[in-house]
């Protein structure tokens, strides 16, 4: 057997031994989602076992299983009969529960995008954000690939809500929280309820409650004070800055504009303001009245340049 096929067989045997273990099933579905090859292995596995009526095929499989380590022999039982029985059951279970009951892909450009999910949960993508959603039998899964998203999640103790990103994973049962990808950092803010944050499925670096804000980077997780940019108001068409640097302001405003905003000013310049998304142009025009900067439009960007 290939390594992936053996891994798939081990998952099946665990699930057969503990069919009512919701935590185990959740981890299994996270494994399915972790790599497209895992789902592909199901198809390969299904095709393979359709042809196991030939006695010589069974004997070859049995001999291959016997050559594995003691641990794997214990999992696979060292016999073609037990593996055949296992996979026959797996084919019925896995194809039923591993196939998405509902799925969609969402991408926003220069404005937020709101999507009501089948269970009544609401996903709101910020500008320049991208996510895919899959509802499985035992998991509600969102893959956030870029940008920022706000989640209003309906509680379902039988089906956790999991948000995966390239930098980490957030698991909840029911709450309101925001997730943002920013370079090599993942930001998580909680408005209500509780969420678990980890690098991977089953991992737990921190448990956040209402009012908590966490930054997860290459060097670990850090709880921080309230962020410079409010993580929730953008979904209502408002941006709120509190003692934010001009670099933070520029990074926040750029996704909503045709042109990027570039800062050529002191990093010491800071701003506290509330901005309506519909008034971004007017806000930029007023900025030189409150900070020592000028606006310079170039073919590729709007430059905030410090006045001398």
Q: CA–CA separation, 65 vs 70, rounded Å?
A: 10
Task: Name the token pair of 60.
Answer: 């070859």
- Residue 7's pLDDT band (boundaries 50, 70, 90)? confident
State yes or no: pLDDT of 187 exceeds 70: yes
Q: What percent of the chain has pLDDT over 90?
A: 52
Report the mean per-residue pLDDT for the chain: 79
The mean pLDDT value for 270-279 works out to 92
First and final CA of the chain: distance in angstroms?
A: 70
The pLDDT, as a whole number, for residue 274 is 92
Closest CA to 112 of 79, 150, 144, 81: 150
- What is the model's pLDDT at position 60? 47
Band of residue 5 on the pLDDT scale cut at 50, 70, 90: low
Say what the pLDDT of residue 124 is.
96
* The pLDDT value given to residue 11: 67
- What's residue 157's pLDDT? 80
Question: What was the pLDDT predicted at 25?
Answer: 73
State the angle between helix axes of 36-50 and 3-17 in degrees (0 to 180), rounded to the nearest 10.
80
Confidence class of residue 248 from pLDDT cuts 50, 70 and 90? very high
Per residue in 74-133, pLDDT tens?
Answer: 443 444 444 444 444 444 444 445 577 899 999 999 999 999 999 999 999 999 999 999
The pLDDT tens digits of the residues spanning 142-180 come to 999 999 999 999 988 888 899 999 999 999 877 899 999
pLDDT at 61: 42
Determine the 3-state secondary structure of 56 from DSSP: helix
Confidence of residue 40 (pLDDT cuts 50, 70, 90): low
| 183, 217 Cβ separation under 8 angstroms | no
b (16+ CB within 10 A) / e for 106-118: bebeeebbeeebe
Tell me what the mean pLDDT of segment 207-233 comes to: 89
- Token representation of residue 109: 């450009």
Q: Give the pLDDT of residue 208.
A: 92
Q: How does residue 276 score in pLDDT terms, banded at 50, 70 and 90?
A: very high
Provide mean pLDDT across the span 204-217. Answer: 91
Q: In what order do the strands lie in the sheet with 293-297?
A: 260-264, 301-306, 293-297
* β 206-209/148-152 pair status: unpaired
Q: What is the mean pLDDT of residues 212-232?
A: 89
């Amino acid at each position: 057997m290939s390594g992936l096929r053996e891994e798939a067989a081990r998952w099946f045997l665990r699930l057969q031994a503990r069919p009512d273990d919701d935590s185990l099933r959740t981890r299994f579905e996270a494994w399915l989602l972790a790599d497209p090859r895992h789902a592909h292995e199901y198809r390969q596995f299904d095709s393979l076992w359709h042809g196991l009526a030939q006695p010589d095929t069974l004997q070859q499989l049995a001999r291959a299983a016997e050559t594995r380590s003691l641990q794997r022999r214990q999992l696979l039982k060292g016999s073609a009969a037990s593996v055949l029985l296992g996979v026959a059951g797996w084919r019925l279970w896995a194809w039923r529960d591993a196939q998405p009951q509902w799925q969609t892909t969402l991408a926003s450009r220069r404005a937020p995008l709101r999507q009501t999910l089948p269970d009544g949960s609401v996903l709101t993508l910020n500008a320049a954000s991208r996510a895919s959603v899959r509802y499985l039998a035992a998991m509600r899964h969102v893959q956030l690939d870029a940008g920022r998203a706000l989640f209003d999640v309906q509680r379902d103790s039988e089906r956790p809500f999991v948000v995966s990103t390239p930098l980490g994973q957030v698991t909840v049962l029911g709450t309101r929280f925001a997730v943002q990808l920013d370079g090599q950092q993942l930001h998580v803010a909680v408005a209500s309820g509780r969420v678990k944050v980890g690098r991977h499925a089953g991992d737990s670096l921190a448990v956040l409650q209402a009012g908590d804000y966490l930054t997860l980077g290459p060097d670990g997780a850090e709880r921080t004070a309230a962020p410079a940019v409010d993580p929730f108001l953008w979904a209502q068409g408002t941006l709120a800055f509190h003692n934010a640097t001009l670099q933070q302001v520029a990074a926040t405003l750029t996704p909503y504009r045709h042109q990027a905003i570039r800062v050529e000013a002191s990093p010491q310049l800071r701003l506290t303001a509330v901005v309506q998304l519909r008034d971004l142009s007017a806000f930029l025009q007023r900025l030189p009245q409150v900070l020592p900067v000028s606006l310079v439009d170039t073919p590729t960007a709007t430059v905030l340049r410090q006045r001398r």
